[in-house]
Each structure stands twice: as structure tokens, then as C-alpha cells.
Amino acid sequence: MKLLGALGRPSLARRLVLLAVGWSLAALVVSAAVLALLFQQAALQRVDQTLGELIDNLLSNSTVDRGQVFAPALTDERALRAFSGRYWTIAAPTADGKVRPLVRSYSLFDSVLPTPPDLVAHFKANPGKPVAYDTRGPLDEPLRARAVYAELQGVPVIFLAAEERSTINRAVRNFIAWTAGAFALLGAGLVAAIIIQVRVGLRPVYDLQREVAAVRRGKAERLQEAYPTELTPLADELNALLAHNQEVVERQRTHVGNLAHALKTPISVMLTEAGQRPGPLAEVVSRQAETMRQQVDHHLRRARAAARTQGQGERTSVAEILDELARTLERIFRDKGIEIDWDAADDLFFLGERQDLLEIAGNAMENACKWGKSRVRVRAAATAPDRFRLTVEDDGPGLPPDRRDEVVRRGARLDENAPGSGLGLSIIDELARAYGGALKLDDSALGGLRLEIDLPQAAA
């Protein structure tokens, strides 16, 4: 997917998504933990408030008679039922810092409420400050307890009250579970929203990529869409670069053309003068002048093809070119009875100028017709979304493997070649390389030579 990009490859979209998702999930986790803690504290505060009210009731209604503390007759049914989960105790601090129970609720039966070991010391340091703590009850159930220090008619007394907190713990667990589920759904929604946001936010970048690809394929000459403020300078610079590149290419093409035309005139004069004065010297001059003219034409053609590939591309139908060449060559080689069998898809297009494809395919097919006995087979098929292969085979004598590279290399040095011994292959190789392709020679299933030419494919 374009959004996330390839693993191990830097991706702006992936970086934005991971950063946003990371911060969002961290915020959700922290928020869920804080909410659970606040809910637990609120539940404990309600229990502490209930226990405080129970202690206030005991404190306000308890009496002391002859040094003995008497508890009021409370009507709390839970405190009257054994091990009900609500307990209270009126105790007295001892000299050694411990707590001695004086009166206890019926719910405790014969048990006592555990107290922190430093409870008495705490009340001595802070006599008016209540203490809330967690402990275990008679049935080892979790309890929330509260202790208050007071003096009844000069008698120091500690009031203890406790409430089972299993219900609170269960409520907290349920709250955490529901909160986790809700936050998980919220997190999934946020992740989806972040991905959509990044996708929509980076859409102009993807549009810019597609438009640049269209320019590269020759389907457009410049970037024309309106981009956001952040991408407008980049689009303008790309258009300026395209214009500058086209200007440089046109300038070089003009220089090459001027040089070629400047050389053609003196070469033509030399050929004309040599033809009018027969002799050994004239033959040498004619031969070398003809070589010079072929070299000028060859390099002019190469420079023209290179300039075209650097400039704006155009789409040329491969099937139309092969049909035109097959008809023409069959008429030319009618005496040999050459039959050309060609095949190419109607939606296969060459990314380049028509004249260049005519020259590439024409030289390849003419070479096959020249050396073939009666059959020439031509095939053109896509090998990748942006490449296709042109294959030309004949049933001629073929070419030994050790001479194939030599023939192509010699074709570039025209003075070392006999007529028809490699110039056409050299032209094919040079033009194919100019378009980023290559020429490969191999054995043909028909018995002769097989030419495979890799060329750029234009979008249908």
C-alpha cells in the first residue's frame, strides 16, 4: 500500500502514522489508567464517608460509666449479623502502643479488627486526624477500615469501623474492563482516522508523483495541477527543470545538426571531385569520404535519438510499424520468396518517435530478410509495465557465438566492415541503447539468427 510504504524503506506516511498512533495510544492508555484510579478513589471515598458516619454515630452516642465504655444500641442490621461484612469496634490504646478492644459489633462475633502497628503512635502525633487503611476480615475478606481517636469523659478511645470492599473491587474491575473495551474501540477508530487523515493529507504528493510519471512517459509536457502551498514551489521548480532540460536538448540537437550539415557539404564536394578524376588516389578519397559521410549520418542519428529520449516522448504503435515494414520488405525481397510472420498486440506502443522505431525494426527485419532463406518471424510483446521486447528471427545460416559481439562492435567502425556485415546491427544497438535498452543476439529456432531488442513501452 502506498500509504505505509515498503518495510525497511524510509516512508513519510509511515512515519506520520506511527508517530500519531504512538502518541494517541499512549494518551489513551494513560487516560484509561487515570480514569480507573479516579473511579477507585471515588468508590473508596464513598465507603470512607459511610464508615465516618458510623463512627460519628458511635462517638456521639457512646457513654462512660465508672471508667467503662458503653456502646449505643445501633439499629444497623448488618452490624448485628455475624460476619456480614460490616464491623465496628471501640478500643483503648495501651501503654505499649497496641490497641485493646473494649466493645465490638455482633458481626465480629469473637474476632477482632486488625489495626496498623503504628496506629497509636499516629494518633499521638496527630490526635484529630482519622486513619483509613485496608486490612483483612474474620473470613479473610478484604476490608476498608477507618479509625478515629477521641476522648470520652477523659477516657482515651479509638473508634474502628470496617466495610467489606469486595463489591468495590468488583466494581472497579468491571469499570476497568468496560473502559478498556471502550478505549480499545476508540483507539481503533483513532488509528483508522489517522490513516485516513494521512492518506488525504498526502494525496497531493501522490498526485504529484503520478503527474511526474505522466511527464516521463510522454503523456504530458509539464505539471498542470494546482497543489497546496507547501508543494507549489516544488511543482514550479520541476516545471522550470523540465523547461531547462528541453532547452538544453534542443540546443544540443541544433549544434549537432549544424555540425553535420557543415561536414556534409565538403564531403559531398570531395566525393564529386574524386568521381570526376578517376585513379588510385580518387578511389582512396572516395572510399574515405563515403566512410566519413556514413559516420556523420550515424552519429547524427544517434544524437537525434538520444535527444528524443531526453525530451518529450510520444507513443508509436508497434503493430502499425511492423505491418508497414512487412509489406514493404516482402515486395523488396519478392525474388527470394521471403515470408514475414509478425505478431504484436494492438495496445502495444513504443515510447519514442516513429522514425526511430522504423529504423530499429527496419534494420532488424531487413537484416533477417537479407540472410534468411524464406522465413522471417517477428514478435513484439511486453516484458514489464514500461518495457517490451522486439524479437526478429530468420532461417538463414546464423552467426557463430564468438562473432556476435564482434559484428556489433565492428558496425560502429564502418571502415572495417564489408557491405551488409554489421552496419544495420550497429544502428540497432546504438538506437536501443539511446532508449535505455539493449540488443542481444542468439540462435533462432528457425535455424538462423535471433535478434532480441529491449525497448521502452508507452502506456496504452
Nearest to 61 by CA among 85, 90, 87: 90
Q: How many CA atoms lie within 13 A of 435 on its CB side?
A: 32
Q: Could you tell me what percent of the chain has a pLDDT over 70?
A: 87
Of the listed ranges 12-26, 270-284, 330-344, 404-418, the least confidently predicted one is 404-418
3-state helix, strand and coil shares in percent for the chain, rounded to the nearest 5: 55, 20, 25
**Residue 65 DSSP SS3:** strand
pLDDT band at 17 (very low <50, low <70, confident <90, very high): confident
Distance (Å, rounded) from C-alpha 445 to C-alpha 395? 8
Q: Could you tell me what percent of the chain has a pLDDT over 90?
A: 14
What is the structure's pLDDT at 231?
Answer: 81
Nearest to 205 by CA among 20, 1, 459, 12: 12
Residue 341 has pLDDT above 60, yes or no: yes
Nearest to 56 by CA among 72, 45, 70, 41: 72
Task: For residues 119-130, give the mean pLDDT.
Answer: 86
| CA 57 to each of CA 115, 160, 319: distance values in angstroms, whole numbers, following the listed order | 21, 12, 104
Query: Model confidence over 239-270: pLDDT tens digits?
Result: 888 888 777 767 776 777 677 667 767 777 77
Residues 6+ apart with CB under 8 A from 351: 217, 218, 313, 314, 315, 386, 435, 455, 456, 457, 458
Query: Model confidence over 39-55: pLDDT tens digits?
Result: 988 988 898 898 888 88
Q: Is the Cβ–Cβ distance between 99 and 92 less than 8 Å?
A: yes
Nearest to 55 by CA among 141, 136, 163, 137: 163
**Beta strand spans in 125-282 (E):** 131-136, 142-152, 155-164
Q: Which residues of 101-130 are buried (b: 16+ CB within 10 A; e: fewer)?
A: bbbbbebbeebebbbeeebbeebeeeeeee
What is the structure's pLDDT at 412?
Answer: 41
Nearest to 425 by CA among 407, 400, 413: 407
pLDDT band at 148 (very low <50, low <70, confident <90, very high): very high
For residue 59, how many other CB atoms are within 10 A of its CB? 15
Q: Is the Cβ–Cβ distance between 59 and 150 less than 8 Å?
A: yes
What is the structure's pLDDT at 2?
Answer: 47
DSSP state at residue 459: -
What is the structure's pLDDT at 323?
Answer: 92
What is the structure's pLDDT at 233?
Answer: 87
pLDDT band at 402 (very low <50, low <70, confident <90, very high): confident
Cα of first residue to Cα of last residue in the chain, in angstroms, is: 24
Residue 57 has pLDDT above 90, yes or no: no
What is the structure's pLDDT at 381?
Answer: 92
Distance (Å, rounded) from C-alpha 392 to C-alpha 352? 20
Task: For residues 413-431, give the mean pLDDT.
Answer: 58
**Residue 216 DSSP SS3:** helix
CA dihedral (236, 239, 240, 241) positive or negative: positive
Residue 121 has pLDDT above 80, yes or no: yes
What is the structure's pLDDT at 300?
Answer: 66
pLDDT band at 423 (very low <50, low <70, confident <90, very high): low
DSSP assignments along 9-27, one per residue: S--HHHHHHHHHHHHHHHH
